[in-house]
Amino acid sequence: MKRKTKKNKTSYRIYYWLTGIIILISLVFFFRTTLTMYYYIVKGQLEKREYGYSNLEKMRKESEAEKIQRIFTRYGGNAFGLDISRHQGEINWDSLETVKKDLPISFVFVRATRGVITQDAFFKKNWNNLAKKKIMRGAYHYYDVNRNSTDQAQNFIKTVTLEKGDLPPVLDIEDLPKNQSLELLKKGVLNWLQIVENEYKVKPIIYSNDAYFIYHIPDLDNYPVWVANYNPMESPLHKKWLFWQFTEKGIVKGITQNFVDINVFNGNITELKRLTIQ
């Protein structure tokens, strides 16, 4: 009996040792495979971002790039910024620093809402990341000209909490109504502006293109004006512009899914800070 017991103990030891060696080899193989997969996934994402960035450069006309460079040169002492929405997709916030090598991103406007019920899918993420990056931020509402203006104002108010240092709220209006007159449209726009001003205690900004301001709402320029004009020119047609969106074909590091709008503020960074909520 004793010899059999000793033999059994020896067999068990060999079994345990072999099992341990197999487990150790399996763990080494598992971690090595996991690290290899992680490396190639991360590498693939980085290559994808670099490809997206370079691909955008190929898609943009040389004349557009030259126009953008001229504005950078002309307004080099001004504050530059972006406006973003879900169309820019996932942003690499660690890389988002400048509109050009020597021109920092001083501000970013983020689409918050549209119409009476829609919230931008990326708003909260973009809004919070701007706070972490300490980049001056503002929120805008895309106005549906065929929907109730009070409901649209409430949609924005329920979605956006503005804090000290944030830029005033923005109303983005670009379309013409199908079933109402221009006068009724203006009443709706004014209603939205007044409700939002009462809520945040600051005068909102109106965004539209030069032609819209000139031909459809010329009498609303007592509000701060953010104008879009992508033509190769030294300044927009609107004489009272506060912000100028001069291109929709901007390329900046950190945004690779699509082009981005680039804007210039009609003043320097110190003057821009005076515009923020105190």
Q: Are residues 206 and 233 in the same domain?
A: yes
Q: Do 8 and 29 share a structural domain?
A: yes
- Per-residue pLDDT tens for 176-231? 998 889 999 999 999 999 999 999 999 999 999 999 999 999 988 899 999 999 99
198 and 265, same structural domain? yes
Query: Is residue 183, in this structure, part of any structural domain at all?
Result: yes
Same domain as 171, residue 50: no
Q: What is the pLDDT of residue 273?
A: 97
Q: Which of 6-10, 48-52, 218-222, 260-264 bottoms out in mean pLDDT, i.e. has the lowest?
A: 48-52
In a domain, 65, yes or no: no
Give residue 11's domain range: 1-59
88 Cβ neighbours under 8 A, 6+ residues apart: 122, 255, 257, 258, 260
Q: What is the pLDDT of residues 95-146, one digit of tens each?
A: 999 999 889 999 999 999 999 999 999 999 999 999 999 999 999 999 999 9
Q: What is each CA distance from 217 to 82, 86, 193, 224, in whole angstroms?
A: 24, 28, 14, 13
84, 120: one domain: yes
Question: Per the domain annotation, does 64 fall within a domain?
Answer: no
Q: Lowest-confidence range among 11-20, 68-77, 81-90, 120-129?
A: 11-20
Give a yes or no: residue 132 inside a domain.
yes
User: Are 37 and 89 found together in one domain?
Assistant: no
pLDDT of residue 60: 77
